[in-house]
Structure 1
Amino acid sequence: MQPYYFPFVRRRGNLLEGLFDYRPRNEQEATVVAISTDWGASWIFRGKALALNPYCPWDATDPDNLNVNVKGTKTAYGSSSANAADNGLGHAFAFSTKGKQHVYHLNRADGHIDSDQLVVHSLNHGEGFSLFGLPEFGYVSPLASGGYPNLESTAAATTGLIDPDAILGSVHMGDKKTIVYVSKNLSPEIRTFRQTRFAQKPRLSR
């Protein structure tokens, strides 16, 4: 399945739907949706959204994607720590509260990963696949000169999570929904965790 990582899979009628973290080394990161009619033995691509890089590699044979083609100009990419490489939005997880669906991502940009709140986008109901209507790109640019790591304008964020890395699951508790998530604390300090519940809807901030 490489370069597809960190699957989120759910049943939709007689099908399985999967959201995958598409991440070729130093080149791209995007969320890809696919369906399976044989319980996950094989997958059919249905769409891609919230991608990172609109540029083509300067040298298609370079596995490290050190440079990209920006309007005909050779531009440092994988060789520049200021640019995105493959550090985009990853670890997708989708669920609904009070009839509204959202997809949650980890912001993997340097200085943001495992410290920022999770990035949130609203999903559309009734479409053929879950990513319909989401922005094509998750950032204004993969280049620092173009504004990276600023997120595109429709992105919202959770509140109250501590160093979140990914949501693992959710469970109903009466009229509330409780999530289980990974907190990835890279500092030695000890933090106190509290229970985070989504009642009416996730609390978002822009």
Structure 2
Amino acid sequence: MIRLHTRKMGDEWPYDQAPFAKDAGALHALYDKARAVLMGGSATARRVFELVESSSIVIDMIVSRGKSGGYFLPADPSYGFDFHGSSGLIVWYPEASFEFYVEGPQPTHINPETGSKWCLMAASSDLVLAHELGHVVQYMTDFGSNAARFHAEYKANLLLIENDNVRRHERPVAQEMGNFMTRRDYRTSKDSEWSGKLIRI
């Protein structure tokens, strides 16, 4: 199940000490709208929501205003804060998109190592939400909701887990909703080390 919260997130931890958002109703409405859009437009997203919402494990969903896209944390005590009985935490910023590079028409950047040409694209926050919920599905189905195991594997093989999530959840959702210019590799995110090697044409 998903427990929905609205807080004013910043860099402070633990998350449960972040102040409650004054515009909670508006943030709830943004979540409800994104959920409806995803479930109505993508069979993959609908399956993800149904799996997470019908599960006996509890996922805290914090909806906040901010610039970054979002993230998922399993309830591993090594993070150093209290998850208050939940199995994990998603923080999602509904007004923030995320940018990534794709090979496609009208390239703006080149990879000097390979000669491949890339253009910068932006994905909606709805797709970010689907991506983070995809991590919850991985956590439940691939790791048996074992937070310590998921956390350890993520630290050891971040790219493997992220690209599995891109392949199984993010790309199918995007394509089912009519967006075929979507990333194939997690490393093509704008703020990644790989993207830092690109040169503007």
Structure-1-length-normalised TM-score: 0.27
Higher percent of residues as helix: 2
The higher relative CO (CA closer than 8 Å, separation ≥ 6) is in: 2
Higher percent of residues as strand: 1
Structure-2-length-normalised TM-score: 0.27
